[in-house]
Amino acid sequence: MLAIEKDSDVIEGKREVISALLSAESVVIASHEGPEPDAIGSSLALGLALESIGKKVYIYNKDGLESAKYLPGYSKLKTSLPDFLPDIFCVVDCANLDRIGDEGKKFAVRTTIVNIDHHDKAERFGTFNFIDHTAPACGVLIYEILKDMNIEITPDIATNIYAAIAKDTMGFLLPTVDVRTLKIASELIERKADLLAVMKTLRFATLRKYKLLSEFLSRVVVEDGISFSFLFKSDYEKFGAKDEDSDEFIDLIRSIDGVKASIFVRERDNEFFKVSLRSDPHLDVGKIARKYGGGGHKNAAGFNIKIKKDEVLNFIRKIKEEILEQERFSHEQNNH
């Protein structure tokens, strides 16, 4: 019964979001700070689609994403807010409204908010909410919205959605991939998605990135089946690197043989750190991230925290112990 009610909520949420988007003349589309291709690809796909049916569209992300420059429509992405108040402020791929940044949040609350998201424990902060945490990427939800709106999936739209899904499924390798996902991917290829542009986006690298990676790898430690490393702001400055250059570093140490969870702590501002967590399916790092005010998925999550530089290693080991304690508790429950 609960599953039926949940499915009903998802269907009704999608219907309300579609109605709101169709009735609007102007739409601002925003995604989370420190974005990746799911956030940007979903934004661009929705933006291009709404423009194709005559809507005034403004696509916003406070940070932008250099690697997404190969995606169709990327030049439309702005890092500053518009000078007009839209009919709809559409937020994609954000578990909570804080994720779009302080300025974006202050702007959004003055409008009618549409919320499209797939994260576990996503907040229903919108006037209208389409939340489906069974989707492996926000791009899946954008695709389903456009199909229900009878908007043509052009090659440009298909490319953006394919990039979005490919990123959040690690190239369709994660256990979150299902028949639904692969059917959508198949249709996107039929719609002439530019897979070369997707490949360039997902495999984007610079010399500064590899120099930063060398520093990151030199600090990798594996203890009790948990890998971890860290970077300071000075490391980024040393190589002229950007925060986005290190986005995928945690996935490298997550793939070490015998590792069940990974922790990556990086300094984004003076003693203000971003903590990224990854884990095997039997663990729930999303729960740990939410404890510290963050969020994400069960096995891929993160949060921000202010700590002193000389406390970073101790903090990492504190998180490590929380993961191990969670595992011990899980084993005890299973034994009973």
In the chain, DSSP assigns E strands to 26-31, 56-60, 77-78, 88-92, 112-117, 128-131, 221-223, 226-231, 261-269, 272-279, 295-296, 300-306
How many Å apart are CA 137 and CA 201, to the nearest integer?
A: 16
pLDDT band at 3 (very low <50, low <70, confident <90, very high): very low
Q: Which residues, 6+ apart, have CB-to-CB distance to 216 below 8 Å?
A: 229, 231, 235, 246, 249
Q: What is the pLDDT of residue 1?
A: 30
Confidence label for 215 from pLDDT (cuts 50, 70 and 90): very high
pLDDT at 6: 57
Q: What is the DSSP string of 176-200?
A: T--HHHHHHHHHHHHTT--HHHHHH
Mean local confidence (pLDDT), 128-150: 97
- Of residues 328 and 92, the one with the higher pLDDT is 92
- Please name the residue ranges forming H helices in 83-224: 102-108, 138-148, 155-168, 179-190, 195-202, 207-218
Tokens 């909410």 -> residue = 129
Domain 208-335 CATH (choose: 3.40.50.150, 3.40.50.1370, 3.30.460.10, 3.10.310.30): 3.10.310.30
Query: Which of 267-273's residues contact partners 24+ apart within 8 Å by CB, and which partners?
Result: 267/231, 267/232, 267/233, 267/236, 267/309, 268/233, 268/243, 268/304, 269/233, 270/233, 271/306, 271/307, 271/308, 271/309, 272/304, 272/305, 272/306, 273/304, 273/305, 273/306, 273/307, 273/312
Share of the chain above pLDDT 70, in %: 98
Distance CA 32, CA 93 (A): 7
| Strand 300-306 versus strand 77-78 pairing type | unpaired
User: Residue 8: what pLDDT?
Assistant: 85
Please report the pLDDT score of residue 102 as a whole number.
Answer: 96
Mean per-residue pLDDT for 128-155? 97
Cα distances (angstroms) measured from residue 3 to each of 6, 10, 54:
5, 11, 37
pLDDT at 112 over 90: yes
Give the per-residue pLDDT at 5. Answer: 41
User: What is the arithmetic mean of pLDDT over 242-266?
Assistant: 96
d(CA 256, CA 314): 22
Superfamily of domain 2-202: inorganic pyrophosphatase (n-terminal core) (3.90.1640.10)
Residue 333, pLDDT above cutoff 80: no
Two structure tokens written together for 198: 């997707």
The helix-helix angle for 2-23 and 138-148 (nearest 10°) equals: 60
What ranges do the domains of the chain cover?
A: 2-202, 208-335
pLDDT for the residue 330: 74
Rounded to two decimals, the pTM is: 0.91
Mean pLDDT of 250-278: 96
In CATH terms, are 2-202 and 208-335 the same topology?
no
Indicate whether 116 pLDDT > 60: yes
Mean of the pLDDT values across residues 217-235?
98
Cα–Cα distance, 185 to 158 (Å, whole number): 9
- Tell me which of 137 and 330 has the higher pLDDT: 137
* DSSP bridge pairs for 203: none
Cα–Cα distance measured from residue 109 to residue 115, given in angstroms and rounded to the nearest whole number:
12
Q: Which residues contact 48 (CB under 8 A, 6 or more apart)?
A: 72, 73, 154, 156, 157, 160
Give every CB contact of residue 258 below 8 A, 6+ residues apart in sequence. 222, 225
Average pLDDT in the chain: 95
* Mean pLDDT to the nearest integer, 87-98: 96
Token digits for 75?
A: 């030049």
Contact at 8 Å (CB) between 113 and 86?
no
Give residue 4's pLDDT band: very low, low, confident or very high (50, 70, 90). Answer: very low
Instruction: Tell me the two tokens of residue 113.
Output: 């908010």
pLDDT for res 334: 72
Name the token pair of 4: 């039926």
Q: What percent of the chain has pLDDT over 90?
A: 92
